[in-house]
Structure 1
């Protein structure tokens, strides 16, 4: 989690830096090989970590809508499988606020606050 947040901050501060670009590229390639980064996985910590990937993608790859939608679908598919602490829901909402509007709009309309 910390790694992806730090890389996102580096990207925000220096998006044109060759060093930062290399870090982002290598990290994104690695994430595509992980269960939490690219698979339909709602087990254990992978469920929560998938949300961190969603936040990361909003910063470094907002144009990769298929990957972003995959992480949103993963959340929606597995959120009902487990007793989910309130912070996972709030973090998901935070992630939506950072997504391209055309992706986040339908998800935001479906939010039910109790």
Structure 2
């Protein structure tokens, strides 16, 4: 695991910054299925998304693939610039919110 310094401010958290939950993956995905998330109290902005990307990329020594919806923060110039500056760290895969909900519901079965 690589150690990385982050310049992101630590958000007000009600749980650990990045939680890792092992779940059975939905059909068509490669096991093991892992869900990572960050709890924050401020508005979800491009800056918050970049902080999340910075934090989660620091937990792995390989490229992280994230499934995201079409939220404006996910598609912002700031996030695109971060991804362009860190091509080996993270890649976003866009799906509709409904597709993501349907996939997550499969995890509960």
TM-score (norm 1): 0.34
Between Structure 1 and Structure 2, the one with more strand by share is 2
Which has the higher relative contact order, 1 or 2, with Cα contacts under 8 A spaced 6 or more apart? 2
